[in-house]
Amino acid sequence: MPRPKPLSKEQIVAAQSKTNSNMSAARYLHVSYTHYKRYAKMYKLFESHKNQSGKGIPKFLKGSKKEPSMLEIIEGRIAASSFNPNKLKYKMIEEGYLLEECSMCSFKERRVLDYRMPLLLHFRDKNSNNYSLDNVQLLCYNHYFLTVGDIFNKQDEKQIETQQEHSGTSEKIEWEVDDYHLQRLKELGLGDAEEDDVNQYISRI
């Protein structure tokens, strides 16, 4: 991986003017906190931007019902790590930041069973907290495999190829269908059932 580029004093001043803490400034610049701290201290800008009380910084927890601002996450003003990555992916699609198709081949076929597409969110710089638009892309399984790496481990591949049941499948499977896919099922005319009935519906298919 290439070494991060040096930060100028002007970059740090600009980041601090738009954030409320050194941690937020590092996220805004899409660099590690250690890298940011090195240059902020060199320019004597680190101490003045400390915010140990957390004043003005939104606090979010995983599982919280509070909706994140996608723009603030994209710009690095809110930590993406505070939210469910799968929900962020579909929020980016719903708000028009990403097209729901493979960015390399435009694949967008849906599985009839649950109306899902085989698309994975890929972070070009390997930093899964960097949601800037030039860093994220949706890839189909094929192009993820060709350009990024394996999707399945050796055990998964063996189970698929030999049609073995996955360990633990003797238990009843509880399918999880989020609001996004529940809405898509309704658009297909399949979803008059409430979310509690989804397991029964999918099992019938």
Which of the residue ranges 33-42, 66-75, 149-158, 160-169 would you say has the lowest mean pLDDT?
Answer: 160-169
User: Exposed (0-12), middle (13-18) or buried (19+): which is 47, by Cβ within 10 Å?
Assistant: exposed
Higher pLDDT, 173 or 82: 82
> In which residue are the tokens 């999918």 written?
202
CA separation for the pair 157, 23 (Å, rounded): 40
CA separation for the pair 102, 142 (Å, rounded): 10
* Model confidence band, residue 203 (pLDDT cutoffs 50, 70, 90): very low
**Are 43 and 49 in contact, with CB atoms under 8 Å apart?**
no
Structure tokens at 128: 């899964």
Find the Cα–Cα–Cα–Cα dihedral 134, 137, 143, 146, rounded to 10°: 50
CA separation for the pair 142, 111 (Å, rounded): 16
Nearest to 178 by CA among 110, 109, 101, 89: 89
* Model confidence band, residue 145 (pLDDT cutoffs 50, 70, 90): very high
Q: pLDDT value at position 61? A: 47
pLDDT one-digit tens code per residue, 92-130: 988 889 998 999 999 999 888 777 889 999 999 888 888
Give the residue extent of every domain in the chain: 1-52, 74-151, 154-204
pLDDT one-digit tens code per residue, 33-88: 888 999 999 999 998 888 655 565 555 544 555 666 888 888 887 878 878 888 89
> In which residue are the tokens 């633990």 written?
168
CA separation for the pair 40, 48 (Å, rounded): 10
Q: pLDDT value at position 115? A: 76
Cα four-point dihedral sign 181, 186, 190, 194: positive
* Model confidence band, residue 177 (pLDDT cutoffs 50, 70, 90): low
Q: pLDDT value at position 174? A: 58
DSSP 8-state class, residue 173: P
Whether 205 has a pLDDT exceeding 50, the answer reads no
pLDDT one-digit tens code per residue, 189-201: 665 545 455 555 5
Higher pLDDT, 198 or 31: 31
pTM of structure: 0.53
